[in-house]
Chains A and B, each alone.
Chain A
Amino acid sequence: MKSLLLIIVPLLGAGLAAGWPCNRSRPWLLPAVGLIHALLCGWMFFAPPVVDPGVWLAFDPLARAVLPVVSLLFLICAWYGVTYLKVRQERPNRIFVAALLAVLGLLSAGHQARHLGMLWIFTEAVTLAAVPLLHFNGTPRAFEATWKYLLVGGTGIALSLLGSLCLGYASLHGGGKGDLTFVALMSQGVGLSRPWVLIAWVLLLVGYGTKMGLAPMHTWKPEAYGEAAGIVGAILAGGVTSVAFTAILRIRSVVGAAGAGVVADHTLLAIGLFSMLVAALFLLGTRDFKRMLAYSSVEHMGILTIGAALGRAGVAAALFHVWSNGLTKGALFLSAGNIRRAAGSASMDHVRGMGLLTPRSAAIFVTGMFAVTALPPFGPFFSELQVVWAALKTGHGAATAMFLGCLLLAFFGLTRVVFGIVDGRPRDRARAGGKRFVETAGLVLPPLVLLGLSLWLGLFQPAVLHDAWADAVKQLYPHP
């Protein structure tokens, strides 16, 4: 019942926001609903409910390992959102607030889906609910980004439905009775028809990989993240991608049970490394610091995928990385949003000297950049270290070398852009914009808190979190 509340409360909040009359007070619904959601989620995290195996939606160990960080990220972004929407008072925010809350509810549902069909329906619904968020700014460029997001994302989601049907047929061919819960599919094991499982795996990996933003299906990401508000980027990069990642993990466990785990791991490793390589190369070329964040997100999705390919230890490391990447990326997106607003542009051709104009946001942006490129003692350093450990222990020497090489290239690319916009003397036009832009506490504290959480995750990672990830791994690999 509580697990359903996680879905119902945000959706009711979305309905309330759609009917709320006042543009000025409506954004307060975001932190209000976010707080209820986070409290519920925290309660269930510390007192995990008993999960009935056959149930379609439940706060199972995998949801417990990932959903709390999404909830936390949403709460902090919602806090930022109140100030952000006050600054953007000129635009009506009815649809924006409602869509944001709907995304939270649907994300909670997607994370808790234990049924192949339900998982697909909620992923599709999240994709559609995010559309109004992307064209909130109403510029032609935002429309262009939305169109690409919808076309690429829509095709990906269609392929994942086709993949789900193929997996359903694999079950039917193997004598299944039409039960599409992951538990039932896993218990069918090698009884699933192998050719259909392999076809399903390819289609589902491409489909959900598009949603995650793995190369070469990542093309919507730079456009969408580049044009959307910082708060939207943070939630897309930390929340929406993670639902696609857990989907891939759940499907991987079925494919593994069907005896095709080795094939699945090879494809995951290949597509993960390819994503990292593509992202690193584009990072060396991009001149736009919001598109830079998108490519960095592609890179980190690659890291997650590589972790998923490396067996138990790798999956645990990947779940850790979902947390550390989500929180750190959130800090980067929010501070980048401040800088973008003050500078009036996102291109390093036009933006310089933001260290003088927006010193606090620039400081968070630079620190966040170091955190996300794995500077100890921030969270990403430790999670990426664990991925490297898992890779070395499973004998993937060449893959580890390539992994580290891509990290280095990405580091060069990120520092090039970040210092390009922070250093130097501000341009006159930007100076005028920067005077109008005031770094209030509501715009600076949320990214700072996110950065602090990333540091906390690295230094004082509580044992209960570690146990939660271990439980999720146990759920995904039931047989030792």
Chain B
Amino acid sequence: MNPNLNLLIGLAMGLNLLSLGSSRLPALIRTMSVQGVILGVMPMLMEHELDWRVVLVALATIAGKGLVIPSLLRRAMRTAQIDRELDPLIGFVPSLLLGAGGAIAALALAHLLPLLPEHADTLLVPGALATVLTGFILLIGRTKAISQVCGYLILENGIYLFGLLLIKAMPLLVEAGVLLDLTVGVFIIGIIVDRIQRAFDSLDTRKLTALRE
């Protein structure tokens, strides 16, 4: 299909690896916001004649994933006074290897799935799978709450990539719902991160161990 689209997906997959390798939270947030902007541009490249709904989704994605959420996260980071993921559960090199292996596996797996002819030569499916996997690695492998939120957002980015397959056929309702919920979700998570900070004087979720069997 569109070579530019595949280029952008490749770029987003590269950013996945960058996010897995960065120990500093500002770098992680920046990687995530760049990925958000790239994702926002994609629907505009896919459509030949621009529908206003597609433009709306694109603008909302760029604003939400690229600007609002990163700035909320930066605010949370400042209140919590941390900027570094010190000792992750899955180290940076192992998570990079996992992410790279996952990307290769995603490319192989996508060939096995039946795709419509117009989607057959895009990287959307492998890109989505690899991004979802990256999100999971960050969710499971990081201990700081902000890194986990970033992982969650990257997971959502992967789902958004998959959603681009359906942007023409399905009503945009689903996409709109994602954006709305995503923003609200992070907003609430942000408040909670703030409160956890006050309650524990730390943003280390491993310290959340009062409740266990």
- A140 touching B200, Cβ below 8 Å: yes
A348: Cβ under 8 A from any B Cβ: no
B199: Cβ under 8 A from any A Cβ: yes
Q: Which of B152, B181, B188, B192 contacts A125 (CB 8 A)?
A: B181
Q: Which of B2-10, B39-47, B51-59, B203-211 is near enough to bind chain A?
A: B203-211
* Interface size counted on chain A using CB atoms at 8 A: 46
B211 partner residues in chain A, CB cutoff 8 A:
141, 144-145, 148, 222-223, 226-227
- Report the minimum CB–CB distance from A160 to chain B (whole Å): 10
Which A183-224 residues sit within 8 Å CB-CB of chain B? 193, 195-196, 199, 222-223
Given A128-B181, A195-B113, CB of A151 within 8 Å of CB of B173: no
| Residue of A120, A226, A286 most packed against chain B (CB within 10 A) | A120
* Interface size counted on chain B using CB atoms at 8 A: 40
- A117 touching B177, Cβ below 8 Å: yes
- A164 touching B174, Cβ below 8 Å: yes
Cα–Cα, bound, A7→B213 (Å): 39
B195: Cβ under 8 A from any A Cβ: yes
| Residue of B170, B171, B189 most packed against chain A (CB within 10 A) | B170
Cα–Cα, bound, A147→B191 (Å): 11
Chain B, residues 142-156, CB within 8 Å of chain A (1/0): the string is 000100100010011
B170 partner residues in chain A, CB cutoff 8 A:
117, 168, 172, 178, 180
B29: Cβ under 8 A from any A Cβ: no
- A285 touching B213, Cβ below 8 Å: yes
A177: Cβ under 8 A from any B Cβ: yes
Q: Which residue of B lies closest to A148 (CB)?
A: B208
Which B181-205 residues sit within 8 Å CB-CB of chain A? 181, 184-185, 188-189, 192, 195-196, 199-200, 205
A146: Cβ under 8 A from any B Cβ: yes
B139 partner residues in chain A, CB cutoff 8 A:
151, 155
- B171 touching A158, Cβ below 8 Å: no
Total A-B residue contacts, Cβ distance less than 8 Å = 114
Cα–Cα, bound, A158→B195 (Å): 24
Q: Which of B177, B184, B195 contacts A143 (CB 8 A)?
A: B195
- B199 touching A143, Cβ below 8 Å: yes
- B195 touching A165, Cβ below 8 Å: no
A147 partner residues in chain B, CB cutoff 8 A:
145, 192, 196, 205, 208
A131: Cβ under 8 A from any B Cβ: yes
Q: Which of B112, B152, B200 contacts A151 (CB 8 A)?
A: B152
Q: Which of A146, A161, A285 contacts B159 (CB 8 A)?
A: A161
A227 partner residues in chain B, CB cutoff 8 A:
211
Which A98-146 residues sit within 8 Å CB-CB of chain B? 117-118, 120-121, 124-125, 128, 131, 135, 140-141, 143-146
Q: Which of B61-69, B79-87, B160-168 is near enough to bind chain A?
A: B160-168
Q: Which of A117, A140, A150, A222 contacts B174 (CB 8 A)?
A: A117
B159 partner residues in chain A, CB cutoff 8 A:
158, 161-162, 165
B163 partner residues in chain A, CB cutoff 8 A:
165
Given A125-B181, A193-B114, A226-B211, CB of A172 within 8 Å of CB of B188: no
- Report the minimum CB–CB distance from A270 to chain B (whole Å): 23
B116: Cβ under 8 A from any A Cβ: yes
- A196 touching B169, Cβ below 8 Å: no
B178: Cβ under 8 A from any A Cβ: yes
A144 partner residues in chain B, CB cutoff 8 A:
196, 208, 210-211
- A124 touching B177, Cβ below 8 Å: yes
B158 partner residues in chain A, CB cutoff 8 A:
162
Given A158-B152, A158-B159, A165-B163, CB of A177 within 8 Å of CB of B169: yes
B132: Cβ under 8 A from any A Cβ: yes
B196 partner residues in chain A, CB cutoff 8 A:
143-144, 147
A389: Cβ under 8 A from any B Cβ: no
B208 partner residues in chain A, CB cutoff 8 A:
144, 147-148
- A168 touching B177, Cβ below 8 Å: no
A456: Cβ under 8 A from any B Cβ: no
Cα–Cα, bound, A145→B112 (Å): 41
- B213 touching A154, Cβ below 8 Å: no
B145 partner residues in chain A, CB cutoff 8 A:
147
- Report the minimum CB–CB distance from A262 to chain B (whole Å): 21
A173: Cβ under 8 A from any B Cβ: yes
Chain B, residues 104-129, CB within 8 Å of chain A (1/0): the string is 00000000111110000000000000
A477: Cβ under 8 A from any B Cβ: no
- B185 touching A178, Cβ below 8 Å: no
Q: Which of A140, A168, A177, A199 contacts B166 (CB 8 A)?
A: A168
Q: Which residue of A lies closest to B187 (CB)?
A: A128
Cα–Cα, bound, A164→B116 (Å): 18
A135 partner residues in chain B, CB cutoff 8 A:
192, 195
Cα–Cα, bound, A282→B184 (Å): 34
B205 partner residues in chain A, CB cutoff 8 A:
147
Cα–Cα, bound, A282→B169 (Å): 46
Q: Which residue of B lies closest to A286 (CB)?
A: B213
Q: Which of A121, A141, A150 contacts B189 (CB 8 A)?
A: A150
Given A172-B166, A193-B114, CB of A161 within 8 Å of CB of B178: yes
- B166 touching A165, Cβ below 8 Å: yes
Q: Which residue of A lies closest to B166 (CB)?
A: A168
A169: Cβ under 8 A from any B Cβ: yes
A140 partner residues in chain B, CB cutoff 8 A:
199-200, 210
- A150 touching B184, Cβ below 8 Å: no
By a beta-carbon cutoff of 8 Å, the part of chain A in contact with chain B is: 117-118, 120-121, 124-125, 128, 131, 135, 140-141, 143-148, 150-151, 154-155, 158, 161-162, 164-166, 168-169, 172-173, 176-178, 180, 193, 195-196, 199, 222-223, 226-227, 282, 285-286
Could you list 18 further interchain pairs (A-B, Cβ under 8 angstroms) beyond the known A128-B184, A195-B112? A124-B181, A125-B181, A128-B188, A131-B188, A143-B192, A143-B196, A150-B188, A151-B148, A155-B152, A162-B159, A165-B165, A165-B166, A168-B166, A172-B116, A172-B170, A199-B113, A223-B211, A226-B211
In the complex, the 10 A-B pairs of residues with the closest C-beta atoms, listed nearest first: A140-B199, A178-B169, A121-B177, A117-B174, A144-B208, A124-B181, A178-B170, A162-B159, A223-B211, A172-B169
Selected A-B contacts with CB under 8 Å, 22 pairs: A118-B173, A121-B173, A121-B174, A124-B181, A131-B192, A141-B210, A143-B195, A144-B196, A147-B145, A154-B185, A155-B152, A161-B159, A165-B159, A165-B165, A166-B162, A172-B166, A173-B114, A177-B169, A178-B170, A222-B211, A282-B213, A286-B213
